[in-house]
Amino acid sequence: MCGIAGFYLLKARAELPVLRGMCDRIRHRGPDDEGFHLDGGCGIGMRRLSIIDLNTGHQPISNEDGSIWVVFNGEIYNYQELRRNLIAQGHTFRTNSDTETLIHLYEQEGVEGIARLRGMFAYAIWDSRKEQLLLVRDRFGKKPLYYAALPHGIYFASELKCFRDLDIPFELDREALRLYFQLGYLPDPATLSKRCASLPQGAG
């Protein structure tokens, strides 16, 4: 179990203390490692539980020229097959992790490449060339990913508690509360907060 968090601000620069504070909230999800990347208004970070590629799987991971970055929570079951195909198409890998496969797959196929992934995952890709933040979740929703879209930007995280120290007022969503008591769970994209949502499964 790992955890990811981050944001993209429209008119302000990303600050490390804010990003670190979000990731500290999910320290329990990843006691082995942490990593951060800041670029203009974007900040992405993660807490890592090392499972695959213990020595070189540090995140965030970038492509060769540092223009695309990823933070990832989960496991890609077919990453070795994807890796072999990407190497055959000229991509160079620096690690043995399934995380790096996501970067090169995005470079090669864009968002369409998401359909080729088999596994349980939630990840965020920052494309500095397009100034675009891409959030992705597996089609069965095995890995959680929440977001808060505000007038000044968007925040995302593996757990809602990452938003606790941010300037996001909590407003109870009474309809979501009703659904929870009726169904015993909250269907995507509902959360108990009107300002926050769960990224729908299969979204990207």
* 188 lies in some domain: yes
* 204 lies in some domain: no
- Token couple for 164: 């606790």
* 64 lies in some domain: yes
pLDDT per residue over 168-177, tens digit each? 888 899 999 9
Q: Would residue 137 be called left, alpha or beta, if left means φ above 0 and alpha means ψ between -120 and 50 degrees?
A: beta
pLDDT by 10s per residue, the chain, length 204: 689 999 999 999 999 999 999 999 999 887 778 999 999 999 999 997 665 555 556 899 999 999 999 999 999 999 999 999 999 999 999 999 999 999 999 999 999 999 999 999 999 999 999 999 999 999 999 999 999 999 999 999 999 999 998 988 888 999 999 999 999 999 999 999 999 999 998 777
* 12 lies in some domain: yes
The CATH number linked to 175 is 3.60.20.10
How many distinct structural domains can be found in the chain?
Answer: 1
* 111 lies in some domain: yes
CA 97 to chain CA centroid, Å, is 16
Domain span including residue 13: 3-198
Active site residue 42: no
* 174 lies in some domain: yes
* 93 lies in some domain: yes
- Token couple for 157: 């995280």
pLDDT per residue over 9-59, tens digit each? 999 999 999 999 999 999 988 777 899 999 999 999 999 766 555 555 689
* 203 lies in some domain: no
